[in-house]
Structure formats: C-alpha cells, structure tokens
Structure 1
C-alpha cells in the first residue's frame, strides 16, 4: 500500500496538504483511489480509499454533509481538484475536513486525476517488486540456513533481519524448539499444543498476556509445530504476514528432515531390540549400541515406559523420553513399540539411582501427557550387551504389571514386584476379571444388601497375614466377631481362610480386583 505522504512527495502531482487529518494520518496505508461526484459516495467508497472530487456535489449537499459521508466510508482522505469555476478549495470544505480530522489535499488545475492514478500504480508496482525481491532474497537465506543445519533457530534469525517481531517455534507436544524475543511459560506452551491439536488448528490464541498469531508447520500430511508470533493477526502488516507464512513453509522442510532422521533412528532401535530378544548376532548388537553412544562393554540398564490409561503408545512418547535422557546426559537407545517405549542406557552408578532417574522420567512424561498415568518398569542390570535379554524381558513384564494396577507406585523393578503379580501378568485379563468377579460376587451382594463389612474384613485379615488378634485390633472389633464374619465369608464364597489353597484363591481374587 502507498501513503498520502508518498503522493505529496511526488512533485509532478503538485499536491498541497490543506488538512493533515489526525496524528499520523498522512502516513497511514491507502488502498486505492476513487473518483466520485456523488453527494453520498459511502456505498461505493471502500475502506482506506482516497476520494478524488471536483466538488460537483456542492449543489446538492453541504461540504459538511459530503465530508461526513466520506468519513462514514472510512476513506483515507479527500483530494480536491481545482478547476476554472473553483480556482480555490472552498473554505467550508477545509473547515469540515479539519473538524472531522480527515486529510484534505489540493491538486492544481493543470494536473488531471489520472496522474494520481498513474502515480499510485507506479508506487504499487515498485512496492510489489520490492516485496518480490525481498521474498526471493529471504527464501535464499532460509534455504541456506536449513541446508547448513541451522534449524529452527536459523529460520528465526533470518526473519528478524527484516522484521522486529517476538517469535517462537513450538511443536505439538508443547516443546519450545526455538525463540527470539518471545518468552513462553509452561502454561502458554500447553495452550499452544492444545491449539495445534484442534481440527483445523487454531490460527490465533489468547496466551493470557497477549493474543498470538499461529502459522502451522506441517510435515507428512499433519501439523507438527507452529511458528508463533506474539502479536494478534490484525496487528501484523501484510509484509510481516507474508514473511511469516514463507518462514513456516521452510520450517516444514526442517520438521520433515527431523522426522526422517527420527524414523531411521527408531527403526534401528527397534531392530536392535529384536536382535537382543532373539539372543543372537551379539557383534551387531554391540555395534548398534555404539552408534547410539552406548558402551556395549559396560553395565547396561533397561527401562520400559507406558501410559496406563492409553491402549497404545501415544505419538511423541519416545521423543519425550529421548529428550529427557539427553538433558540428563545419559547415553541411551530409545525404541518405541505399540504398547511401550523401551530404553537401553549406560548405567555405571548405583542401582538405587536408576529408580530415582525413572521417577523423574515419569514426572517428565506426565507433564507432556497429563492424565495418562505413566509407569516405568525396570529390569536388572546387565554387565554387558550379551546379557541384555533377561533385563529387557523383565523391564517389559514389570511395566505390563504396573499398567494393569489401578493404584500403587509408578516405578518398580522386576525384583520388587510380587511373584503373583508377574504370574497374573501372563494370564488373559478377561479370564482374571471373570475369576475375581465370580469368587467375590456373593460377598459383595451380601454387603450391599445388609450393609455388611465382610469384604473389608477379609481384606484386612489377609493384609495382616492371617493374624486374628492383630486384625481384630485394626478393625476395632472382638476376635469372636472377626471369626463370625470370616465364617460367613467362607459360607458365601466356598473358601475357608483356614485352608492355605482357599486363602490363596481369596488373596488372588482381591489382588486382581485391585489391578483391573
């Protein structure tokens, strides 16, 4: 767009400013010019157009009425063309424009309105050429930045050379990939991630402190990140908007490149786990571990992570785990599966420290996947790569048990889990639920019908290892009352707590109920 100041600067037009309008009005963008002699041109004049007139409307309306009509159309201003009949701009028109703070320019008799149109066309052409040259130059700079591995930060540096804007790049997991002049807290990053998850994704978000414009960055048919500008869309100039859109397209190339690298790494990691499980190709396993920076000759730990509330591994979980371990300075191989994500890592510290690391990892995952209830199973330490198979299987089994437990710790090692839990983890869940329900149903019906406490009493008795006096004291009842309740439970379930095999059945039924 051009400005009134730019037109006045063109001496060939012989324009004179009679009324400058409001503050900065002469430097406001002008959309186009509109020649009219209608008494009320408001239905035809577009926003920010410059009205050209010779004043032929003066026989039908006053200057104040004409100016009011032009003002209502939100025009950029008025150019009054002098002619033989009106060698001077009418004073009432000057007065009306001054009162309305509408710019008024005067053009000499010798200069036709077409000269203004030609000048505007030339300004538009020149500006468009400059914009195209700038776009080509910026495109070359963006391509160079990406080809040289500058990444998202390099793209932002190119943008800020031309435009002073607060910018950031955030992926759909809510991670800050790059920033310049913009600060986003954790809550704002989550807001951006939620906006990208919409279908279609949000193009503007309220981040609390300000509105932010979002330029989605897609790769392989999906939206994986966004270029964020901490300005509302309405506050961006057309040139800024075009530059941000161009940068977002180049960021798509960068994201696609990163995804390709990650896909290759994941495939290699997955193949590595298959090699370990097969028990062969020890030399190749060692070689692949070295590729990921993991020493195959040193002590190795295995950790399996999953979300208990998710049926399958969510997109991005492996990336979150990899980023966490990289930040911790722990060399690791991270392999994503359909049910869990397995990590093989170098571990030369005491084994208790591994549980502490896993606890921090679970908290980091919970931040990225709130409500998913992440759990982590740990296998024993392997002295070297050739002994990885056992801890790998143990970590995944421990993780599977933790996923099926509704309560309890989020991190456990294989050796810390009760043997019965590991055995139950090998049985079909439907079969287990059926066994637990059938055994406890009559007990629960009795309690529901009579407001009894048979099930809580049975749980307390088993929790206190079958000790009558201790259980009675914990329940604040007499031992004879305890005996009567458990006798009734035996009558209803057909299982007597005084017999070992019956007590095992009751114990397992209650354990299954807690797990499912």
Structure 2
C-alpha cells in the first residue's frame, strides 16, 4: 500500500501538524504544489496538495475546499510564515465542515522536502512489492515442482485467502483450504463466460452480460499474460469477499480455471502473484502437448514400427557421445533447436541421436558441456554409430579437443579391407605370446604413443625404465623390433582387430584400437 497521511505526518523531519484531528489511513499517491484558486484540473486524486495560500481569500475558502474534496485529494498542506502567519480561520472551518484533512507545514520545511519524503516512501513501497512478488514467484515455482495441489495451497497462503483449481468442466481439482470447494458451484456462470475466448464473435464482453444484482463484475487482464493468447479474468465483488477467476491454457479451449478469494480487493502485487500461479499452471497444462511426439515415438518402437514415430529422426542420423553428463540433458531440454534429438544417459557419457542435418546445430549448443564424439552418418546400424561416437569421444578426451568426428580419426577404412576370420587368426597368432606375458597393454600404449617411451609410460602410470624393460621383453618374445615401422603397423592392425567384434570388421570406420 502507498504511504498514508498518518505515516507522512509522523516523519519528525517534516514537522507537519494536523489541524483537523486524528489522521485517517488515507493513501498518498503523490505530492503536488499549486497556488491556483482551482488546481483540480491538474490533479488526479489521492495527492497531498501543498500551498502557501497566495491567492486564497476568506470568501473563496469554502469553494476551494469543496473543489479539493470533490477531486478526491488526500489532504491539504498549508505553509505558514510565508504569505500567512497562521492558517486562515475560514479555510480551517471549511476543512473541518467538509472533511478535508488540513496539515500545517512549518516555515523551515520546504515543499520539496515533503515531496522527496513521500517519493522515498513510495519507492520503498514499490521495492517491497517487487521483492514480495519475486519471493512469492520463487515459492510458487518451488511448490509447482511438488504438484499442483502444493501450488494452490501456497497461493492461498500468500494471498491470505482461499484458492480453487477447477478442471475445464468446473469440477474441483484442488482446494485450499478444503472448505473452499463449496464455492465452486457459485462460479459456474463465470466459467461459462470465460470459456469463450476474449474478442470472439458473439457480442459484448463478459462483464456486460451479467444480470445478477448481487455482484459487481469486471473483466480485466491478469498479470503475466501470454502474449497473443486468449486470457481474461472475471472479478466479483460480493459482500465481505472479493473473488477473481482466471482461465488457464493457451488455446481457444481453457484447460482449467483458477479462482481466488480474499476479504479485501487484491492489490497490484497480489495480481502479479496470481498471474505467476496462472503462468505455472498453464505451463504444466501445456506440457503434455510437448511430449506427444516423444510418446508416439516410444509407442512406435514398442510396436515395431519406428518409422511411424514422429519424433524418430528421418533419414541419416548421427550419434553424439557427450561427456557433459546432466549439463547435456539440461541444454537439450532448454533449447527448441535440440528438440529433435533423442538422448540416452549411458555409463560415463550421454548418447544423443540427431538428424544428420541438425548435427552441427546440436554440437554448437552442447559446446562447453564437455568433450563430444560424433559418429559418421548412419541409416540403420545405430549400434555401430554408437561405437564410432564412443571412439571419437575417447580421442577427444585424450587430445583435449572439444569435438572429434569419427571420420577424423586415423586409420579409417583399414578393417573394411580385411576378411574377419583370417584377420582374427592373424591377430590371435601375433598377440598370443604377448598375452601370455601380460604385455598386450604395454605394447598397445607404446603403439598409441607412436613409439614415444615417455608418453607411453605416463599413459600406463609406470616409470620409463619399467616401460623400456617391458618393451625389450616384448621384442624378445616377438622376435622382431617394435620400432620397425612395418612391425608397428602389423601390431596396430592386430590390436585394432582384437578391439572390434567380428561384425565390425568390413565396416568402414571401425578400425580403431582401444585407448591406452
């Protein structure tokens, strides 16, 4: 509420004194200064008017006060010691007769000091309203995470009244307190009016159709309306109770209604709080619509008809292996551009299936969440694409790069040239002696490090002398030098074959060995 005459007059630095008795709790919306005989054309009502009485005459005092009372000013502040040493008796008598609050402003108090004081009080009140609305919105949001019943209960407490959530037919879904449910029947006529979208054909606005004499109705927009969406409320003033009914939903047909009731008319901040509740309820009511495609896709997959799922990507897709964890899921859920992707948390990373043409966009959105590995385009063999993405992610993690595509990995296509059975027999024969001495991991790290002992030792977590000793033993077992490029190629091929199952051989791009 704005500051009152009593609170303004109580400021000791102003020294204001009431000449018309105890001060009422009349709100002061602004301070105006005027020496006109009739300042009312320049007032809106609710002002504390300040004057020195420069043009005031004893004969005109009664008419002056009458005009101010008719305009609805909050009160009159008369400065003494400027034009008049005291407040004229005629003015004081007229103020007492007509019920106008008259304050004496002492000579040391400039009018601007009164204006600044009221301005500060108004600013403090505005800040308090904003803070209260912000806190209330946070409380409502937190309650909405629990459920609509918790949100309705929290709203009723915030307003100090009751709240009803009704379904589209007017049935009670949630009531806070429970006794508020009995008010639902009386709201039926208002729901009928609100079911018609505002601005639709059919005549006058809902308020004009009311014929019941017991209620004063108005149709007005509530706070937090969705732009362009049909949204209106009906306000009812009943004896000792004020009710507001708001439709929920964005479409032409409401998805429900929210009704609130309080003993006093809702102030502006309360309308903001109700609007926040309506927005949260609308989001909840519209959420099932956003999940239709995903449910249809799941149903299609369960029925063995994935092509019928509208959310299943059409045409070639890529699999992205993302190391960002929950941050990846948050980005995908918050940006509509990523809505066509299907995400699945796996052990250590999140796999995201996206249409080939959307891959670049999704990669950009996920940049910064962690390393990303991207498969080659795939039409049907998604398991192979998942392996490709995993290999690329491992390479991105090792190299410290943000994104690595499978096509960028070295050695692509080699396994595709091999016959699976001879290739596996070759790999088994070459690696069997090393496997017997538990040296396969050492040789793998040495090959992956391109023969650099320091890097291979770090990858294995051993001292470089230990690595050198192991590699000498491997050379003895193999009967050949691992530093010979030809020998190293053979070992790399053998390791790559053993790192892929038989179905992967002859598939382009699956020629990666495991990470050291």
Structure 1 length normalisation: TM-score?
Answer: 0.46
Q: Which has the larger radius of gyration?
A: 2
Structure 2 length normalisation: TM-score?
Answer: 0.46
